[in-house]
């Protein structure tokens, strides 16, 4: 495939070339060859800087992918970070490497900060803020944060998106979609990991992170959910100073949850902080169905009276009523050691392969449940439980919804934070009442009554439209307008090969016809002569020879004789 077919813009072509060069540098030319990107041949392997063979042998394939992602820039770093929490999609060695990817880059100049603010808010920084710090508090691949003071004296933080980052990311996403398509087409074993689905999920996630209005609404929703809860503080969003690329919110002066000595020096209680943090995440998951998906210590500040204040609301998880109900079914199956119910939940919430080994899955689940049966809650490590459950999911190639994976990550992260603050912290015991409430809610008669009413309403609608639909089908049959569409799947490669074969066969027949025709003319020995032979016959032989040579070269270049 010619790389020009991917896109006609110079920017895309240039970025494709950068990506291919970096992939070759880290020893992935075998993958590029399998993708059949003909333009790669024009790059020339010899002119591309590449790690020496002995250096490549010292590092694993997963390490090479991580190094390539780091060099490819912010989009690929974000992709690696997303994959690092998807053990159901990629192998463990890649997970461990992608966890090392850091989203830290040098800040962009303050002059550009001012330009973005003026473009987005319609006025210069001096008119919008009483003061504005030139040095950023933090800088990442998508945005950086500055402290400021608004006219009423309120201290705020302003999150400003990097100039042109949206264009850069959209270019990379377009290329990732093309590469995912090529990988699925030319590398059959990749279908186990569903490259297109991975890119689609990543595109959705990173586009949400680029929308600061969405993040502001996340903060407002979070603030409403914790109204009346004195243990959690959520910053206020200043909407008059917020757009898709600029987010202004209240500045919170606190101590990071990871700075335990500072917490103690300030008279705060690490045990209470751990409990407040756990209650907050459990409420978010089991009551609100809307949770902070990245509650690591750097994203949690602690205020006076052991109040916790989460930061960075760009990545949020959501659990709708149906998903919460399935979680209830899963937990009920675990409590009652009902393996069939657990398998049924996996079928409902995950994408299960047709070749699922049900007997093997049942054995693995039994073994998993036996390991923790009648074990005291305070002896159970939730991170280990989640890792072992994920290993079963990976082994049987069950693809779990991303929000459920994020939920597991959030619980495991919160448990880690809690145990650093208070070594005797017991996340499982704290989760027990929330799980019980979820299971009781599942049995609520009023809820079942609402479900039955909804089903009845759907059936009623179906019965109303069914006669009309049947009549329409019968009318089309009578008029001869009923069409049945057949669609082949997975035969694209075969069609391409058949096209090539038929083209070569036609080409060969033309060459044969030229040779036979030229031979007849030579036998007749008539017309203009060249060296005693008919000129038309000689020309015919030459054309046949050139076309034949061309055909042989094309076959050799395709690697098939």
Continuous H helices in 350-489: 358-372, 382-395, 402-421, 427-442, 445-479
Cα gap 381→113, rounded to integer Å: 45
Closest to 13 measured CA to CA, from 175, 225, 206: 175
Distances (CA, A) of 475 to 232, 324, 421, 479: 63, 45, 72, 6
Determine which one of 88, 178, 294, 364 is catalytic.
294
Angle at 394 between CA 391 and CA 396, to 5 degrees: 110
DSSP class of 304: G
Task: Concatenate the DSSP letters of all residues of 31-71 into one string.
Answer: HHHHHT-THHHHH-GGGS----HHHHHHS-HHHHHHHHHHH
CB 161 within 8 A of CB 215: no
122: left (phi over 0), alpha (psi -120 to 50) or beta: left
For residues 460 and 12, give the distance between their C-alpha atoms in angstroms, rounded to a whole number.
52
Ramachandran region, residue 485 (left: φ > 0; alpha: ψ -120 to 50; beta: rest): beta
The DSSP result for 229-290, as a single string, is -TTB--PPB-GGG--SSEEEEE----EETT-HHHHHHTT--HHHHHHHHHHHHHHIIIIISE
- According to DSSP, residue 317 is labeled E
For helices 321-335 and 339-349, what crossing angle results, to 10°?
Answer: 160
> How many residues belong to the chain?
561
- Rounded to whole angstroms, what are the CA distances from 102 to 80, 168, 463? 10, 19, 57
| 252 and 392 Cβ atoms separated by less than 8 Å | no
- Sort 561 into a burial class: Cβ within 10 Å, 0-12 / 13-18 / 19+: exposed
DSSP string spanning 189-211?
GGGGT-HHHHHHHHHHHHHHHH-
Rounded to whole angstroms, the Cα distance separating 15 from 165 reads 14
Instruction: Decide if 294 is catalytic.
Output: yes
The structure tokens 């603050």 sit at 421
Cα 434 to Cα 281, 288, 415, 500: the distances in Å are 11, 12, 15, 62
What is the rounded distance in angstroms from the CA atom of residue 548 to the CA atom of residue 545? 5
How would you class 372 by CB atoms within 10 Å of its CB: exposed for 0-12, middle for 13-18, buried for 19 or more? Answer: middle
Residue 533 parent element (H or E):
strand 533-534
Q: How do strand 316-318 and strand 290-292 relate by DSSP bridges?
A: antiparallel
Which residues are the active-site residues? 294
């Amino acid at each position: 495939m010619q790389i020009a077919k991917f896109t006609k813009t110079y920017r895309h072509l240039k970025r494709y070339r950068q990506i291919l060069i970096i992939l070759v540098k880290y020893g992935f030319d075998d993958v590029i060859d399998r993708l059949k990107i003909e333009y790669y041949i024009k790059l020339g392997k010899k002119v591309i800087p590449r790690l020496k063979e002995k250096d490549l042998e010292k590092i694993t394939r997963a390490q090479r992918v991580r190094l390539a992602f780091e060099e490819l820039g912010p989009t690929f770093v974000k992709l690696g970070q997303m994959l690092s929490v998807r053990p159901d999609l990629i192998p463990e060695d890649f997970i461990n490497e992608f966890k090392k990817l850091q989203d830290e880059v040098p800040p962009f100049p303050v002059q550009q900060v001012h330009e973005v603010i003026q473009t987005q808010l319609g006025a210069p920084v001096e008119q919008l803020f009483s003061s504005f710090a030139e040095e950023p508090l933090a800088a990442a691949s998508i945005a950086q944060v500055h402290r400021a003071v608004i006219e009423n004296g309120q201290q705020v933080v302003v999150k400003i998106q990097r100039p042109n980052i949206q264009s850069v990311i959209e270019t990379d996403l377009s290329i990732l979609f093309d590469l995912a398509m090529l990988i699925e087409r030319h590398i059959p074993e990749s279908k186990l990991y569903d490259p297109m689905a991975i890119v689609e999920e990543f595109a959705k996630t990173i586009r949400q992170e680029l929308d600061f209005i969405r993040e502001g609404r996340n903060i407002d929703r979070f603030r409403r959910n914790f109204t009346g809860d004195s243990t959690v503080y959520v910053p206020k969003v200043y909407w008059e100073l917020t757009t898709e690329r600029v987010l202004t919110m209240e500045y919170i002066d606190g101590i990071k949850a990871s700075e335990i000595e500072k917490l103690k020096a300030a008279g705060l209680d690490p045990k209470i902080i751990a409990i407040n943090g756990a209650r907050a995440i459990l409420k978010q998951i089991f009551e609100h169905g809307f949770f902070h998906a990245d509650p690591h210590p750097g994203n949690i500040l602690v205020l006076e009276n052991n109040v916790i204040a989460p930061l960075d609301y760009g990545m949020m998880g959501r659990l709708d009523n149906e998903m919460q109900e399935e979680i209830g079914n899963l937990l009920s199956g675990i409590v009652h050691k009902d393996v069939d119910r657990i398998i049924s939940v996996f079928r409902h919430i995950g994408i299960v392969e047709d070749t699922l080994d049900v007997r093997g899955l049942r054995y693995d689940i039994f073994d998993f449940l036996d390991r923790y049966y009648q074990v005291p809650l305070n002896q159970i490590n939730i991170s280990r439980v989640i890792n072992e459950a994920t290993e079963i999911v990976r082994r049987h190639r069950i693809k779990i919804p991303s929000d459920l994976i994020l939920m597991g990550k959030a619980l495991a992260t919160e448990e880690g934070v809690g145990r650093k603050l208070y070594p005797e912290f017991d996340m499982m015991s704290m989760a027990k009442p929330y799980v019980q409430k979820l299971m009781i809610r599942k049995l609520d008669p009023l809820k079942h009554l609402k479900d039955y009413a909804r089903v009845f309403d759907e059936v009623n609608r179906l019965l109303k439209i069914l006669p009309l639909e049947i009549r329409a089908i019968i009318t089309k049959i009578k008029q001869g307008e009923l069409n049945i569409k057949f669609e082949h799947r997975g035969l694209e490669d075969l069609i391409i090969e058949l096209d090539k074969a038929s083209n070569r066969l036609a080409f060969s027949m033309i060459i044969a016809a030229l040779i036979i025709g030229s031979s007849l003319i030579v036998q007749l020995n008539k017309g203009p002569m060249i060296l005693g032979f008919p000129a038309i016959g000689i020309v015919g032989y030459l054309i046949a020879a050139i076309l034949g040579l061309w055909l042989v070269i094309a076959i050799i270049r395709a690697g098939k004789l």
